Structure formats: C-alpha cells, structure tokens
Amino acid sequence: MVGKTLGFLAQVAPWAVVSGLAYAAAFVKPGVQPLPLPQPLIEPRDRFYDVARSGDGRFWFSGSHGVVLEGTPDSAQWHRFTLPEPVNLQGVAASDDGIIVTAGNEGWVFTGTGGEDWQAQHLPVSDVAGKLVDVIWLDGQFWVIGEMGAVFRSDDDGQNWVDLGMDEDISLNDLARSPDGTLWIAAEFGTLFRSKDGGATWTGTELGAESLRALAFHGDDGVIAANGGVVYRTADGGQSWRRVQTPSREHLYDVAWDGQRWVVTGNGGSLLASDDGAEWTSIAPDGLGSGYYTRLVTTGKGLVLAGQTIGEVVDGQWQPWPPAGARNGEDQP
C-alpha cells in the first residue's frame, strides 16, 4: 500500500513541480515594500518668502504650497505645517502675544498660535490679481498689503480686517512706519506711498523706474531696497530720498538695520551692508546660496534669511537651517 502510494506520488510529483512553477510564472510578481515617503521637513522644491520671529524666540517661515515652517536654531524638533489652502504664502508676522498671521495668494490669510489649528480667512481682493504680498506687525496691529493696492489692517490679532485699499492697479511690497508716525509703503515701478492718517489716505511719489521692494527706518535714517541693486536712502525721516547704486546689479528684496549697519539682501545670493546707506559692500559668507533671499530678520547676534534656502549668518558664517538632524515634529501625509 505504502509502496503504491509512493509510486503514485513519484509519478505525479514531476507534473506537480512543473505546474507549481507555471503557476508561479503566471502570478508571482517581484514584490515591493512600499516606502511611506514621509513628509520631509524641507522638500527640494520648497521656496520660502518670509520669516518672522515670535516673542518666545521661535522663527516662522512662510513659503510655497501653503507651507509654514517653525523652529529654533538650537532645536532638533521643527514643525512643518501645510495650511488648508495650498497657496503660496508670501508673508508672515508674529504679534507680541505669539499670534501668527500668514497671508498669500488669492487673498488667503491664516491665523494661528503654533498648533495644528489655523484659522483661514479670505480677504476681499481683486479676482484679477489677489496676491497678498506681505504681513507686518506694527505697533499692536497686523497689516496686510498686496496686489491691486490691497491694504488691510487688523486691530484684534487677525480676527477682523479693515480694508484700507487704494483701489489702484499697483502691487504693494512692504510697509513701515517712520519715527514721526508716518506710514510708508514701497510699491512697484518706483512708487513710494505715504500716509499721515494711519492708512486712511495715501500719497504716492515716483522715486524712479525700478520697483521698490522693501523699506526700513532707523531714527530719521531710512533705506529702501529696490530692483537692479538700487537703494534709496533718506536722512530726514523720508522728506527726501537719494538714489544709491550698490555694487550689485541684482534685485534687492529686503532691508534691515541690525543695530550697527544697514543690511540688504536679494537675488543671486546678494547680501550687502552699509554703515550709512551710502557705501555698500558685500558681506555674503561662503556657502550662502546663489539663489534669491526675500527676507532678512536681525536677531542681535546675526541675520536670519529666508528665500530659496533658509538659515542664519552668524559671525560671517552661513549656517543653513533647519540644523542637521532636525526632524519634523508634526509628520503630515
């Protein structure tokens, strides 16, 4: 009986082997263990446009595709937030109480405190050009400016917004206040606006053909960063402006007083400094990217830059952010 069974099995076995292999050939495919592809802290295609520092020392970067990045240079735990609308977030600002407001394309404004919950608002902007270019925290108020002369102000931490728009086809790029309380707006095609009534009415002045990108005051001294490596300086609180050509021909996007000198940044990794706004020299450290930088924030010990890459210039050294080994504390799909 056993012999017969074994004999039968021997007869069948070769066909079984071939049949098994034929089945495998038909149905077995090379397997793949799918990688989760977790959201990295920074993607190669991320672009940042603005950075703000909140009172607790945290930095907030706003960028393309609705991304807000939050972290501190000495922390390995950073947070990447993807806001509900995947629009490019052009500006970000933090109030003294730690309220974060970021604004971007199509009139979108988001308000948060650093957690997952961001309150979205859609401001009434032009259907043709509705980009909100910048958010500024100024003396207890949030200001948002943008295309088509859009100006909005919030007196309650971004909950409600007052429309102070100019109703002009012009893109507004930056807003600042001079010591005498005058509000100034740098706008495209060389136009500089000023308002002595808190933004209710605006008066424009043509400084030249190149678009004005940013402005800042230190006492009565002020500097405007403009396209083509041009800056405008004033020593009388904005009564008069004088054109200065820096050694760079690149567009300059931001200017700040770091406590000792004026610093401007812009395209092509431009980073220039001047004690008086008249003579400029490059202070770009080795390793600073050749791409653009749209915002610089002074920290007391250095300069934080936001743009094609983000990082800090300390003691003439470029330290890219997030620091090596930093992880995304809020992994999102």
Partner 1 sequence: MISRVARSLSEFCIRHRKPVVALILLATAAMALTLTHIDVRTEFSDMVPSNHEFVDVHEAYKETFGGSNKVSILVQANTGTILTQPILQEVQRITRALAKVSGVNPFQVVSLASRKLKSVKASSMGIESVPLMWPDVPTTQAGIDELHDAIVNNPLVYGIYVDRNLQSTLIQMDFYDRLVDYNKIFPQVQAILDESPVKDQVSLHVVGEPILYGWVNHYLDETVMIALMSLGGMLLALFLLNRTWRGTLLPLVSGVVSCIWALGIGVLLGFNFDPLVIVVAFIITARCFSHAVQMITRFDDLCDGEQLAPERAAELTMKELFRPGLLGLVSDAGAILCVVLTPIPLLQKVSIIGAIWVMTIGFSAVILTPVLLSWVSTPLRVAHPLNLRFLLNAVLLVAVKVVETRVRYVVIPVVLVLMGLLVAEASRITIGDATPGSPILWEDASFNRDSALINSRYPGTEQMFVVLEGDEQDAMKRPDVLAWMQAFQRRMERMPQIGGSVSLADIVVDVRRNLYEGNPRYRELGATQIENGELISFYMQGAAPDDLAQFADPVFQNGSVVMYFRDHKGETLRQAIYQIRRFIKEHPLEGVNVRLAGGSLGIIAAVNDILLSDQIESIALALLVVIVSCLAVYRSSASGIFFIVPVLISNVVTFAYMAWQGIGMSISTLPVVALGIGLGVDYAFYIVDSIKETLEKEPTIDPMDAIRQALFSAGRGVLLTSVTLAAGVLLWSLSSLRFQAEMGTLIGLWLLVSAFTSLFVMPSLVRVLQPKFIFGDRTENADSADETERLAQSTH
How far apart CA 40 and CA 82 sit, in angstroms, is 12
> In whole angstroms, how close is the CB of 28 to partner 1 at the nearest point?
7
Among 77, 240, 290, 317, the residue binding partner 1 under the rule CB under 8 A is 290
14 binds partner 1 (CB under 8 A): yes
User: What angle is formed at CA 254 by the lines to CA 258 and CA 177, rounded to 5 degrees?
Assistant: 75
Among 145, 174, 251, 318, the residue binding partner 1 under the rule CB under 8 A is 251
126 binds partner 1 (CB under 8 A): no
> In whole angstroms, how close is the CB of 175 to partner 1 at the nearest point?
15
Per CB under 8 A, the segment of 40-48, 71-79, 193-201, 317-325 that binds partner 1 is 40-48
How far apart CA 26 and CA 286 sit, in angstroms, is 58
Per CB under 8 A, the segment of 21-29, 115-123, 158-166, 215-223 that binds partner 1 is 21-29
How far apart CA 311 and CA 305 sit, in angstroms, is 6
> In whole angstroms, how close is the CB of 30 to partner 1 at the nearest point?
4
Burial of 182 per CB tally in 10 Å (0-12, 13-18, 19+): middle
- Report whether 254 contacts 293 (CB < 8 A): yes
66 in helix, strand or coil?
Answer: helix
> In whole angstroms, how close is the CB of 36 to partner 1 at the nearest point?
10
Beta strand 77-82 pairing with 327-328: parallel
71: which residues sit within 8 A by CB, 6+ positions away?
58, 59, 77, 78, 79, 321, 322, 326
Among 58, 79, 80, 131, the residue binding partner 1 under the rule CB under 8 A is 131
| Amino acid in the structure at residue 147 | E
84 binds partner 1 (CB under 8 A): no
Q: Please choose, from the candidates 239, 316, 230, 314, the residue with its C-alpha nearest in 3D space to the C-alpha of residue 277.
A: 230
Closer residue to partner 1, CB minimum distance, 34 or 300 = 34
282 binds partner 1 (CB under 8 A): no
219 binds partner 1 (CB under 8 A): no
> In whole angstroms, how close is the CB of 328 to partner 1 at the nearest point?
12
Could you tell me the strand order of the sheet in which 230-234 lies? 212-218, 221-226, 230-234, 242-245
294 binds partner 1 (CB under 8 A): yes
How far apart CA 61 and CA 48 sit, in angstroms, is 7
Closer residue to partner 1, CB minimum distance, 198 or 287 = 287
Q: Per CB under 8 A, which of residues 152..181 are in contact with partner 1?
A: none
1 binds partner 1 (CB under 8 A): no
> In whole angstroms, how close is the CB of 114 to partner 1 at the nearest point?
25
> In whole angstroms, how close is the CB of 56 to partner 1 at the nearest point?
28
How far apart CA 322 and CA 70 sit, in angstroms, is 9
Among 18, 76, 120, 138, the residue binding partner 1 under the rule CB under 8 A is 18
The runs of H, that is alpha helices, within the chain are: 2-27
How far apart CA 84 and CA 65 sit, in angstroms, is 10
107 binds partner 1 (CB under 8 A): no
Among 267, 302, 312, 328, the residue binding partner 1 under the rule CB under 8 A is 267
> In whole angstroms, how close is the CB of 226 to partner 1 at the nearest point?
10
The distance from CA 302 to its chain's CA centroid, rounded to whole angstroms, is 18
Residue numbers of the site for partner 1 (CB under 8 A)?
7, 10-15, 17-18, 21-22, 24-26, 28-30, 32, 34-35, 37-40, 43-45, 47, 49, 64-65, 88, 90, 105, 131, 133, 188-189, 209-211, 227-228, 249-251, 253, 267-269, 289-292, 294, 307-308
